[in-house]
Amino acid sequence: FTKPFLDALYIIEKIEAKGFKAYFVGGCVRDLLLEHDMKDIDIATSATPNQIQNIFDKVIPVGIEHGTVIVRHQKKSYEVTTFRLDGSYSDGRHPDSVQFIDRIDEDLARRDFTMNALAMDKYGNLVDLYGGKEDLKKKLIRSVGDGMERFTEDPLRIIRAIRFASQLGFSIEEKTLLAMGDLKNEIEHLAVERIQHEMGKFFAGKYVDIGFSYLTSLCLHRHLPLFKENPYIIDKFPRPIESFLSFGEVIAVCHLLEPKLTVQEWVKQWKCSNKIKTEAITLVDIFNHYKKQGLDEWLVYQLDPIYDEGFLRIVHYLDKNHEINKHEIKCLRNSLPITSKKDLILNGHDIIKIFPQEKKGPWIQKLINKIEKEIVEKRLKNNKNDIKEWIKCNPPEIN
Ligand code: ATP
Ligand code: MG
């Protein structure tokens, strides 16, 4: 066991001490066998959410109807889910019904792929009813049971298959792949938020080029928002495709590859958060500035350091001839005379004092913006006298 599992043993042992069963399950077991780092530890149990709430002090009821709660232990979160059977997902979002059950076997049967249908007890014994371990060895993504049935139940699994191909570099088993092709139309009935969540992970995958081959060979993009009406965009992606760690980067790239479709349109159709929207807009603005003027003071001044890496990934992907690196951005940023408007030595009040007889208006902000740019681009020093002199030579248009 690795450290995260050892930490989580406490949860399993505490549940079992009350007479229930509990296992590590799903992605964490898969990642342990693959010797990959894991994001989070999921636990499956015969205890109901209410019973879990009685056992632990800190329980967050995130999805009680589906049997899921989060247990907090030593500042970490563990998703604890009651063994369950799922009905079909006719709203494209949630199973119509869930039935809590007493055995891990049937719970594993509802899971998507053999490699995800693995459970492990506190001693490290594997419950592997579908040959998941063997498939991990063969690097194969295979449906649990009949693919046609499983993808009909929840077509999101079609997207999940290519996202795992992208993350793990695995192949999709033949019958599973055929079923995906047969049922791909069903993707269109899914809740867009679910698609976005999986496609975010897809584009961030280490082997995204492999995932992308599946996406295009199955023509899955023809069933995704906005790609559906504009399938030709997929051919504009330079190959090999590279990983984009956040969805804002993906949207920025989509827009840069086809400027006819605005960021707003992508954001709307893919139901993105404001955070993603802001990121995409920033990255597009910065990239367009970069294309026109190159990497300069004004660019790094505008670029929030949280977007540095994303910007570099986009440049690396779309502008192969002009390599720039983190170091260059940092150096240039360190050389900036100011880091934001707040650092300007002169503010609106000072400007009004210089023009006591003029009425307040948008001209003040415009003047400040001009001064800001002069200073950032090092044509003007950030001191009062220099700025006053500059204003004399460049009087504002007031009207
Ligand atoms: P990651 O490491 O990216 O979190 P994961 O395998 O943990 O990968 P999750 O989306 O967190 O994936 O889901 C946890 C587990 O729940 C999966 O391993 C799988 O067993 C099951 N699962 C999740 N979504 C589905 C689904 N749509 N259909 C069937 N089983 C699913
Ligand atoms: Mg997970």
Q: What is the CATH number of the domain that holds 46?
A: 3.30.460.10
Residue of the nearest CA to atom 3 in ligand 1? 27
Residue 181: the pLDDT is 98
Decide: 271 in ligand 1 pocket, CB within 6 A: no
Compute the C-alpha angle 2/6/11, nearest 5°: 140
Q: How confident is the model at residue 92 (pLDDT cuts 50, 70, 90)?
A: confident
Q: How confident is the model at residue 254 (pLDDT cuts 50, 70, 90)?
A: very high
Phi, psi of 221 (to 5 degrees): -60, -25
Decide: 153 in ligand 1 pocket, CB within 6 A: no
Assigned domain for 268 exists:
no
Assigned domain for 5 exists:
yes
Decide: 128 in ligand 1 pocket, CB within 6 A: no
| Whole-angstrom distance, CA of residue 163 vs CA of residue 160 | 5
Residue 51 burial by CB count (10 A; 0-12/13-18/19+): exposed, middle or buried? middle
The token duo for 110 is: 């509802």
Compute the C-alpha angle 200/284/252, nearest 5°: 20
Residue 345: the pLDDT is 95
- Residues 291-329 pLDDT 10s: 999 999 999 999 999 999 999 999 999 998 878 999 999
Average pLDDT of the segment spanning 125-153: 97
Decide: 156 in ligand 1 pocket, CB within 6 A: yes
| Whole-angstrom distance, CA of residue 330 vs CA of residue 360 | 38
Q: How confident is the model at residue 393 (pLDDT cuts 50, 70, 90)?
A: very high
Please report, in range form, the residues annotated as the binding site for Mg(2+): 40, 42
Q: What is the ipTM of this complex?
A: 0.98
Point out the ligand 1 atom lying closest to the alpha carbon of residue 31: 2
Q: How confident is the model at residue 398 (pLDDT cuts 50, 70, 90)?
A: confident
Q: How confident is the model at residue 399 (pLDDT cuts 50, 70, 90)?
A: confident
Per-residue burial over 355-390, b = 16 or more CB atoms within 10 Å of its CB, e = otherwise: beeeeeeebbeebbeebbebbbeeebebeeeebeeb
Assigned domain for 325 exists:
no
Mean of per-residue pLDDT scores for the chain: 95
Containing domain of residue 36, as a range? Answer: 1-138
Decide: 116 in ligand 1 pocket, CB within 6 A: yes
- Residues 328-365 pLDDT 10s: 999 999 999 999 999 999 999 999 999 988 888 999 99
Assigned domain for 163 exists:
no
82 CA from centroid of ligand 1 (Å): 15
Phi, psi of 141 (to 5 degrees): -100, 115
Per-residue burial over 133-171, b = 16 or more CB atoms within 10 Å of its CB, e = otherwise: bebbeeebbbbbeebbebbbbbbbbbbbbbbbbbbbebb
Decide: 112 in ligand 1 pocket, CB within 6 A: yes
Lowest mean pLDDT among 102-116, 191-205, 309-323: 309-323
Question: Any bridge partners for residue 118, and if so which?
Answer: 128
Average pLDDT of the segment spanning 194-216: 98
Residue 115: the pLDDT is 98
| Whole-angstrom distance, CA of residue 266 vs CA of residue 281 | 11
> End of a domain among 73, 105, 138?
138
Q: Please identify which residue in the block is written with the tokens 């400040």.
A: 368
Point out the ligand 1 atom lying closest to the alpha carbon of residue 40: 4
Residue of the nearest CA to atom 1 in ligand 1? 27
Decide: 26 in ligand 1 pocket, CB within 6 A: yes
Average pLDDT of the segment spanning 168-190: 98
> End of a domain among 138, 159, 179?
138
Residue of the nearest CA to atom 6 in ligand 1? 27
Long-range CB pairs of 93-100, under 8 A, 24+ apart, other chains included: 93/190, 93/191, 93/194, 94/66, 95/66, 95/154, 98/65, 98/66, 98/67, 100/48, 100/67
Closest CA to 285 of 296, 271, 299, 305: 299
Decide: 157 in ligand 1 pocket, CB within 6 A: yes
383 CA from centroid of ligand 1 (Å): 58
Lowest mean pLDDT among 19-33, 85-99, 135-149, 254-268: 85-99
Assigned domain for 271 exists:
no
Decide: 155 in ligand 1 pocket, CB within 6 A: no
> End of a domain among 138, 171, 200?
138
Ligand (nearest to CA of 163): 1
Decide: 39 in ligand 1 pocket, CB within 6 A: yes
Residue 112 burial by CB count (10 A; 0-12/13-18/19+): exposed, middle or buried? buried
Residue 326: the pLDDT is 94
Q: Please identify which residue in the block is written with the tokens 């026109």.
A: 292
Average pLDDT of the segment spanning 262-290: 98
- Residues 6-61 pLDDT 10s: 999 999 999 999 999 999 999 999 999 999 988 899 999 999 999 999 999 999 99
- Residues 369-388 pLDDT 10s: 999 999 999 999 999 999 99
Protein residues near ligand 2, an ion, with CB under 5 A: 27
The token duo for 97 is: 């019904």
In this structure, what CATH number is given to the domain that contains residue 376? Answer: 1.10.246.80
Query: In testing the pocket of ligand 1, which one of 68, 107, 112 has its CB within 8 Å of the most ligand atoms?
Result: 112
What is the percent of the chain with per-residue pLDDT over 70, rounded to a whole number? 100
Residue of the nearest CA to atom 8 in ligand 1? 27
Compute the C-alpha angle 285/363/389, nearest 5°: 100
Average pLDDT of the segment spanning 172-200: 98
Q: How far is CA 160 from CA 26, 98, 130, in A?
A: 14, 21, 18
Assigned domain for 251 exists:
no
Query: In testing the pocket of ligand 1, which one of 111, 127, 157, 164 has its CB within 8 Å of the most ligand atoms?
Result: 111
Q: How confident is the model at residue 88 (pLDDT cuts 50, 70, 90)?
A: confident
Assigned domain for 196 exists:
no
Determine contact, residues 28/116, Cβ cutoff 8 Å. Answer: no
The total number of structural domains in the chain stands at 2
Query: In testing the pocket of ligand 1, which one of 23, 115, 116 has its CB within 8 Å of the most ligand atoms?
Result: 116
| Res. 65: pLDDT tops 90 | no
395 CB contacts (<8 Å, ≥6 apart)? none
